[in-house]
Amino acid sequence: MGIYLRGRVWWIDYYDQHHQRVQESSNSPNRRDAQDLFNVRQSEVSRGVFKRPVKIAFGEFGKKYMEYAKANKRSWLRDEQMLKQLEEFFGKEHELAKLGVADIEAYKVQRRLEVSGSTVNRELALLKRMFNLAIDWDLLVGRNPVCKVKFFKEFSFGSRVLTQNEEERLIENAAPFIQDLIVFGLNTGLRVGEIFSLRWSNVDMEKNILNVFAHKTWKTRAVPMNTKTPAVVEAWALHRKNDLVFYNTSTGQPFVDLRAGFRLACRKAGISDVSWHTLRHTFASRLIERGVDIVTVQQLLGHSTVTVTMRYTHTNLASKAAAVAKLVGLGDTFVTVAPKCSSKIIELSQTQL
């Protein structure tokens, strides 16, 4: 009974309250972590609250997680895509409890050679969530190994906004159905998921309003349509096949992911650093530039607080320059010009001293 090293990971060996031997990985190359875990297990055994670890393969738990994600997350498809990357590296047969910090660090380094640091962070966040659920479901005993893995730093240089010229080029180079979605997004500020899930029951053409249900906040908000929006909606109404406003015309099924088509349009237009979310940010920024108050923008975007909306209100350099220019001329009448002192006055003052 004690602590020993197996490969690069420290393990602990002890007996439970039923006098059955247990060998458990600390999931760490650090001996101190193994010692801490060993102390915890001894305490649990002495108090009679110890639960024996459940052996479950990574692939098997992945299936359980996806059942949970499909029932609780609208973005489950993205989780499914990221899970495939994790399973390909770790292997579906790898025991979940034996995945350690060193294994996850190896994944992080290898994956970074293929994709950006932010993408790796999203995949590590998924893995961290999976381990937390495994612990909550009593399928894993011990600490979450992802907690000891340092994520890549992500630098934010401000959110991208489309210029009028870029908007025209983007629409010109996009496929017809993506053109409609771009125009719709720029004039409503809806999240891409809200656009894909918008139904005809949410569209009030008489009042010219979209009643948008946000899965992110589980609230419904009213978004008025300007003159460009109804034209898009009416065009899709001509070939209506189901209750969805926008859908894959080939299959009749909802859109899931149009990033590839959007990237292609951006590449043809010679535009970089733009995504579907850029349309939403452009919508908010243009409202602010035209003098719309921040509370109204908050309500249109469906944010819970104004603080969240502030991220979307960066104006461009031209707007900032125009704002600063308004200060020119203010305070000119308050400038006091000191009179010139003659040499005689200076000499007189010196003699008096």
- pLDDT reported for residue 51: 74
- pLDDT reported for residue 350: 54
Task: Specify the CATH number for the domain of residue 169.
Answer: 1.10.443.10
d(CA 174, CA 170) in angstroms, rounded, equals 6
d(CA 328, CA 340) in angstroms, rounded, equals 27
The residue among 302, 49, 349 whose CA lies nearest residue 191 is: 302
User: How many domains, in total, are found in the chain?
Assistant: 3
- pLDDT reported for residue 332: 58
Average pLDDT over residues 142-146: 87
- pLDDT reported for residue 324: 74
Which tens digit of pLDDT belongs to each residue from 238-281? 989 899 999 998 888 888 778 889 999 999 999 998 999 999 99
Assigned domain for 229 exists: yes
Task: Look at residues 148, 176, 198 and tell me which one is the last residue of a structural domain.
Answer: 148
pLDDT mean across residues, the chain = 86
Greatest Cα-to-Cα distance within the chain, rounded to the nearest angstrom: 107
Do 220 and 300 belong together in one domain?
yes
3-state secondary structure of 307: helix
Assigned domain for 190 exists: yes
Assigned domain for 215 exists: yes
Do 29 and 120 belong together in one domain?
no
Task: Specify the CATH number for the domain of residue 72.
Answer: 1.10.150.130
Torsion of Cα atoms, 68 then 71 then 77 then 82, to 10°: -10
Do 199 and 252 belong together in one domain?
yes
Do 279 and 302 belong together in one domain?
yes
Do 181 and 311 belong together in one domain?
yes
Do 99 and 193 belong together in one domain?
no
- pLDDT reported for residue 284: 93
264: left (phi over 0), alpha (psi -120 to 50) or beta: alpha
pTM over 0.75: no
Which residues partner with 209 through β-bridges? 204, 224
Do 254 and 306 belong together in one domain?
yes
Average pLDDT over residues 124-142: 90
Assigned domain for 331 exists: no
DSSP 251: T
Asked if residues 271 and 170 have their Cβ atoms less than 8 Å apart, the reply is yes
Do 169 and 313 belong together in one domain?
yes
Asked if residues 54 and 27 have their Cβ atoms less than 8 Å apart, the reply is no
**Which one has a higher pLDDT value, 20 or 317?**
20
Assigned domain for 142 exists: yes
Do 188 and 271 belong together in one domain?
yes
Assigned domain for 277 exists: yes
Which tens digit of pLDDT belongs to each residue from 61-104? 999 999 999 888 867 888 999 999 999 999 999 999 889 899 99
Do 23 and 103 belong together in one domain?
no
| Secondary element (H or E) of residue 351 | helix 343-352
Which tens digit of pLDDT belongs to each residue from 99-131? 989 999 999 999 999 988 888 999 999 999 999
Q: Report whether pLDDT(335) > 60.
A: no
Do 304 and 182 belong together in one domain?
yes
Which tens digit of pLDDT belongs to each residue from 29-73? 889 988 988 998 888 888 887 777 678 999 999 999 999 998 888
Which tens digit of pLDDT belongs to each residue from 160-209? 899 999 999 999 999 999 999 999 999 999 998 899 999 999 999 999 99
Assigned domain for 158 exists: no
What's the CA angle centered on 68, arms 65 and 72, to 5 degrees? 135
Q: Report whether pLDDT(339) > 70.
A: no
- pLDDT reported for residue 334: 52
- pLDDT reported for residue 340: 55
- pLDDT reported for residue 319: 62
Joined tokens for residue 37: 């875990």
Give the domain range for residue 30.
Answer: 2-47
d(CA 25, CA 27) in angstroms, rounded, equals 5
Confidence of residue 157 (pLDDT cuts 50, 70, 90): very low
- pLDDT reported for residue 22: 85
Assigned domain for 337 exists: no
- pLDDT reported for residue 232: 96
Do 38 and 73 belong together in one domain?
no
Highest mean pLDDT among 7-11, 32-36, 225-229: 225-229
DSSP 329: T
